[in-house]
Structure 1
Amino acid sequence: MTRENLVVCTKCGVVNRLPGGRNGTDAKCGKCGALLFSGLPQDVDTANFDRQIGRGSLPVLVDVWAPWCGPCRTMAPAYEAAAKALEPHMRLIKLNSDREQAIAARLGIRGIPTMILFHRQKEIARISGAMSASQIVGWVRGHVSTGTG
């Protein structure tokens, strides 16, 4: 018996139940109709960030970035490529540290880009500095099983 996953919509923040055996690539939010996994990590606000970490059952990778940060902008395409490789077995989101300063402070962000991996409501790993898509995927898979090859 496969267990269901709880997937938080990045658009509206509603928690969706996704049967464990279902391929989530075409799954849509029951409230707003947005794709739950688009392959494009979404920027989230404070409320959505807290729901992603606290209510979803999938591992969550957070890219903490800022628009003025050159390395952050350089890494953005690699982060998107990593999302295409890792979703729908985990959630990838972005957190703009300029707009969401309270969360950045709460997370103890000292430099950007910083990626933080959460699983079961706990931070399990953190790394700073720009990385390639293959480095991101390898780093994540070294910490959690993503169910992908």
Structure 2
Amino acid sequence: MSKSLVLACPQCLALNRVATERLNDNPSCGKCSSAMLPEAPLELTSANYEALVVRSELPIVIDFWASWCGPCKTMGPIFNGVAAEMGTRMRFAKIDTEAQQALAGRFGIRSIPTLMVMKKGQELARQAGVMQVGQLKQWLAPHTV
């Protein structure tokens, strides 16, 4: 019997059960037909955080950033590139610390960029500062599906 994961749709937030061996097949939402694992990182807000992070079973790496932050501008393309490459083994998302201050405050974010890996709402790892592609992949490896 194959293992499956519950994932929330990034568009309609409906919960979908997806077999792990189908994660590479670009699964779509059973309710709205949107891609369940888009290549671009998801934008997390207080409105979608619960469904996309807490109720979804696929690990998620979150980039806490701000538009005025120089190191965040350096980290952005690196994060987006790794998201496009590894996006079927974990979800990638961003939290704009200026627009989502309460969400950033909930995690005690003191410096940006800060990356955090979570699964079912539990923090598994945290790293502040810019990482190069190889460093980021190595840091994420233990948490991928």
User: Structures share a fold, TM > 0.5?
Assistant: yes
Q: 2:83 — aligned with what?
A: 83
Q: Secondary structure at the match of 1:136?
A: helix
Structure 1 unaligned blocks of 5 or more: none
Contact 1:85 1:137 in 2 (8 A): no
Q: 1:113 — aligned with what?
A: 113
Q: 2:13 — aligned with what?
A: 13
Query: Is 1:96 the counterpart of 2:106 in the alignment?
Result: no
Give aligned-pair identity as a percent. 34
Structure 2 CA distance for partners of 1:133 and 1:12, relative to 1, 3 Å:
farther
Q: CA deviation at 1:129?
A: 0.5
Structure 2 unaligned blocks of 5 or more: none
C-alpha offsets along residues 68-115 of structure 1, whole Å, 9 cap, x if unaligned?
Answer: 111111111110111122221211111111111001111100010000
Q: Secondary structure at the match of 1:75?
A: helix
RMSD: 1.5
C-alpha offsets along residues 5-40 of structure 1, whole Å, 9 cap, x if unaligned?
Answer: 111222232222112221444211223322112211
Q: CA deviation at 1:49?
A: 1.6
Distance 1:101 1:81 in 2: 26
Task: Report the more deviating stretch, 9-18 or 56-65.
Answer: 9-18
Q: 1:39 — aligned with what?
A: 39
Between Structure 1 and Structure 2, how many residues are aligned?
145
**Letter of the structure 2 residue corresponding to residue 64 of structure 1:** F
Q: 1:49 — aligned with what?
A: 49
Contact 1:60 1:117 in 2 (8 A): yes
Q: Secondary structure at the match of 2:68?
A: coil
Distance 1:40 1:10 in 2: 11
Distance 2:8 2:24 in 1: 12
Q: Secondary structure at the match of 1:46?
A: coil
